[in-house]
A and B are shown apart, each in its own frame.
Chain A
Amino acid sequence: MASQKKVAETPAPAATRPSILPIDASPVQELGREADLKAFRDMLLIRRFEEKSGQLYGMGLIGGFCHLYIGQEAVVVGMQLAMREGDQVITGYRDHGHMLACGMDPRGVMAELTGRRGGYSKGKGGSMHMFSREKHFYGGHGIVGAQVSLGTGLAFANKYRANGNVSLTYFGDGAANQGQVYESFNMAALWKLPVVYIIENNRYAMGTSVQRASAQVDLSKRGASFNIPGELVDGMDVRAVKAAADRVLEYCRSGEGPYILEMKTYRYRGHSMSDPAKYRTREEVEKVRVESDPIEQSRARILANGWADEEALKKMDAEVRKIVNEAAEFATYDPEPDASELYTDILR
């Protein structure tokens, strides 16, 4: 179960797996027509949604911080394909993709970005702080690392209730250096809590590369002193993510305790909206985009397998754009929250 280097059951043709990331671990399993098409569409929705968010920010409709998920789509979509109803998701401030993957309404997410009453937090939370009890999405947290303890607590509740659910706790490579992460690891292992720690290693925490911040750059080993198994996953390949998720969710669900998945991924955009971008070269960004874009990989595979033709994918893109445009329209014209909301929801 915890074997780190499993050979792919169905080795993918080399041409469709052009990852430039230093991966030698993730087994890949073909998804099949239906799941591959769904993954493609879900990733596309996140991509288009985030592009639109960037535009709305540029127009002054979104303020403050706005952290886009572009480039990392395969991580959350692949995990989501393996989840079952009841499993919880929690993450940091780069959360738009997670919410869309959880099935939250793009209109409600976009309206929260613009601070309107139809937003998931009635406009009071903003880009970094949204939640949905219905979709088991627990936020949306602004303090780097805080969601790791919270996610461990969700797992504690799962075990307490013996409900068989797993907590999917996402955090960044930068967050992986926070002390509370290790306090949580220890408790999770000690009490065998059903939690998957998903480290979205996009190589940078703001302007600091993993190499400049981490003594152990193989973040999948960060659970070693707590006996938490971990593995590296090609987070640009939705099939690899799904395959890892299938195994690991089963492991956690069966009461074996926590597991770490380090997703090798990349953020194309700046950390937040304005970013001096001096810490990496344009060539580096371009190389990832060209060689291992998760959506392009997926598109090429779908076409190669004949699961859909160009025309059908174009149509899908148009549908996704329509959803996103409607969300933006809603988020633009929905009124701001009523002034009385200033004093609501403080206590109940």
Chain B
Amino acid sequence: MPTQVLMPALSPTMEKGNLSKWVKQEGEKVKAGDVIAEIETDKATMEVEAVDEGTLGKILVPAGTADVAVNTPIAVIVADGEDASAAATPAQQNKAAQSAPPAAAPATAETPKAAPSAVANPPQPTAQPVPEFGDDAQEDVELVTMTVREALRDAMAEEMRRDPDIFVMGEEVAEYQGAYKVTQGLLQEFGASRVVDTPITEHGFAGLGVGAALAGLKPIVEFMTFNFAMQAIDQIINSAAKTLYMSGGQMGCSIVFRGPNGPAARVGAQHSQDYSAWYSHIPGLKVVAPYTAADAKGLLKSAIRDPNPVIFLENEILYGQSFQVPKVDDYVVPIGKARIARPGTDVTLVAWSMGMTYALKAAEQLAEQGIEAEVIDLRTLRPMDTETIVASVKKTGRCVVVEECWPQSGVASEIATRIMENAFDWLDAPVARVSGKDVPMPYAANLEKLALPTVDEVVQAARAVAYR
């Protein structure tokens, strides 16, 4: 039976790609596993392999074709003595793809290695209208659209041009251009002595980074993801965070630990965890978790300049999102200041990083229901901008905190306490929180959706505290 070769997906979210090259030509013999074609998207290339033995009977999509939809038949492999035309109709071979049950078909997960372009189930950030950089920007400044990924890269590059003591270190940061492409181009510009590929030895290179920082260098240590920083957390806390204090102020360390944090998509329990609360707990650290590209850029520049250890929590799903960033020579956002992302009067929503996507979507829906939510993008978790939160709550009398981390001893519980300590008499309802569910992250698509916060949960919580 002739077999159709279908356009494969590099990730469950990929809808189309380019057929860049045919490695085998019509009439050539192929074995299972032979590379027959090459496809590419903007972030990755993949080889298409023959799944059966036979002859490449017919090429249905010529090389150089752009935007070929996933699952389109691209070629036909015929067994000896068969006729390629017999398989010209996308019939039986396509069956599995077409009749995949709905549970899996709309898997909106993002493959970890490709550029993030979609999210598990959380909403896409609002395209334009939100004031992306709040109070920090001057009105008349020119804006450029860029992704969070580009903003982070630019921040590092600009700082590295300014100060030769700054270097980047981590797994796959140099030759591979970053596992998530955040360090793209840095090796080419700054060379291998300042952009350093490490072995897979997190505890070792985190400690080495701290040592280098004690000696006066300014390392940017990338963790491929913060899940792997658990290997290194002893050095981060015992060495980076405490040494200034233990040395009576003699020996500080200026170091940034950065990388993607929080749930990714469909990668299971060990690769999908939010560490916001963990680092936020530690005196001697600053902890930053931006949402927009502008904040990512401005805060990373501040973090690199900061004389203290800074934990810089990024988010894989946000890397590919575009925002407007002020085009100025030196765009810096101060650590420790929250931003009013959307003004409102009826309820305060506090979020950061990925949590902002739920909060902003919820605020839109609430507005349709006549509830004006004020959305605070916390941006820095430590030191926490209590003042901005409290001022807002004094206005609205109600607060919902959105976080992807687990509820017990989470950041929301800290925020609730601060509100109680500072604005108890202004509260019209108990502070509510929408957190990740109190379970390790499951792999199954349906369970993963249930484990994450949802826009609807935020809307419900806001309505509950507003008694509506």
Q: List residues of A whose CB falls within 8 A of some B CB.
A: 47, 51, 54-55, 57-65, 70, 112, 114-116, 121-129, 141-145, 174-175, 177-179, 205-208, 212-214, 268, 270-279, 282, 286, 289, 328, 332-333, 335-337, 339, 341-343, 346
Given A144-B200, A335-B103, also A274-B444 (CB < 8 A)? no
* Interface status of B45 (Cβ within 8 A of chain A): yes
A60 to chain B: closest residue by CB: B12
Q: What distance in Å separates the Cβ of A180 from its nearest Cβ neighbour in chain B?
A: 8
* Interface status of B6 (Cβ within 8 A of chain A): yes
* Interface status of B171 (Cβ within 8 A of chain A): yes
For B97, the chain A residues whose CB sits under 8 A away are 59
* Interface status of B216 (Cβ within 8 A of chain A): no
How far apart sit A319 and B293, CA to CA, in the bound complex (Å)? 54
How far apart sit A132 and B66, CA to CA, in the bound complex (Å)? 45
Interface centre among B9, B109, B265, B446 (most CB of A within 10 A): B446
How far apart sit A346 and B103, CA to CA, in the bound complex (Å)? 24
* Interface status of B157 (Cβ within 8 A of chain A): no
A207 touches B175 (CB 8 A): yes
A129 touches B269 (CB 8 A): yes
B176 touches A277 (CB 8 A): no
B103 to chain A: closest residue by CB: A336
Closest A-B pairs by Cβ, 3 of them: A126-B443, A58-B8, A63-B266
Given A129-B443, A336-B445, A343-B439, also A277-B45 (CB < 8 A)? yes
How far apart sit A186 and B9, CA to CA, in the bound complex (Å)? 45
Question: What are 12 sample pairs from A and B whose C-beta atoms fall under 8 A apart?
Answer: A47-B33, A59-B6, A59-B9, A129-B270, A213-B199, A273-B10, A274-B46, A276-B43, A276-B176, A337-B447, A339-B447, A342-B451
For B438, the chain A residues whose CB sits under 8 A away are 346
Q: What distance in Å separates the Cβ of B45 from its nearest Cβ neighbour in chain A?
A: 6
B176 touches A143 (CB 8 A): no
Interface centre among B6, B112, B268, B446 (most CB of A within 10 A): B268
B231 touches A143 (CB 8 A): yes
* Interface status of B442 (Cβ within 8 A of chain A): yes
- Find B445's partner among A63, A129, A273 (CB 8 Å cutoff): A63
For A274, the chain B residues whose CB sits under 8 A away are 10-11, 43-44, 46, 111, 113-114
Interface 1/0s, chain B 64-77, versus A by CB < 8 A? 00000011000000
For B104, the chain A residues whose CB sits under 8 A away are 60-61, 114-115, 332
- Find A179's partner among B100, B201, B445 (CB 8 Å cutoff): B201
* Interface status of B271 (Cβ within 8 A of chain A): yes
B51 touches A332 (CB 8 A): no
How far apart sit A62 and B228, CA to CA, in the bound complex (Å)? 23
Given A123-B444, A274-B114, also A342-B450 (CB < 8 A)? yes
How far apart sit A272 and B105, CA to CA, in the bound complex (Å)? 21
* Interface status of B416 (Cβ within 8 A of chain A): no
- Find A65's partner among B9, B70, B112 (CB 8 Å cutoff): B112
B267 to chain A: closest residue by CB: A64
- Find B200's partner among A175, A328, A336, A342 (CB 8 Å cutoff): A175
B96 touches A333 (CB 8 A): no
B113 touches A63 (CB 8 A): no
Q: What distance in Å separates the Cβ of B98 from its nearest Cβ neighbour in chain A?
A: 10
How far apart sit A341 and B445, CA to CA, in the bound complex (Å)? 12
Chain B interface size range? 35 or more
How far apart sit A282 and B38, CA to CA, in the bound complex (Å)? 11
A141 touches B270 (CB 8 A): yes
For A177, the chain B residues whose CB sits under 8 A away are 199-201
Q: What distance in Å separates the Cβ of B290 from its nearest Cβ neighbour in chain A?
A: 25
B100 touches A332 (CB 8 A): yes
B44 touches A51 (CB 8 A): no
For B46, the chain A residues whose CB sits under 8 A away are 270, 273-275, 277
* Interface status of B222 (Cβ within 8 A of chain A): no
A206 to chain B: closest residue by CB: B172
In addition to A64-B265, A122-B444, 15 A-B residue pairs with Cβ atoms within 8 Å of each other are A57-B12, A58-B9, A59-B8, A63-B111, A124-B269, A124-B443, A125-B269, A125-B443, A143-B227, A143-B228, A178-B200, A206-B172, A212-B175, A278-B176, A335-B103
* Interface status of B107 (Cβ within 8 A of chain A): yes
A332 touches B172 (CB 8 A): no
How far apart sit A144 and B202, CA to CA, in the bound complex (Å)? 10
A275 touches B113 (CB 8 A): yes
B176 touches A126 (CB 8 A): no
For B172, the chain A residues whose CB sits under 8 A away are 206-208
A285 to chain B: closest residue by CB: B35
* Interface status of B204 (Cβ within 8 A of chain A): yes
Given A179-B203, A273-B111, A274-B114, also A342-B442 (CB < 8 A)? yes
How far apart sit A51 and B8, CA to CA, in the bound complex (Å)? 13
Interface residues of B in 269-299 (CB under 8 A from A): 269-271
Given A58-B6, A279-B176, also A63-B265 (CB < 8 A)? yes
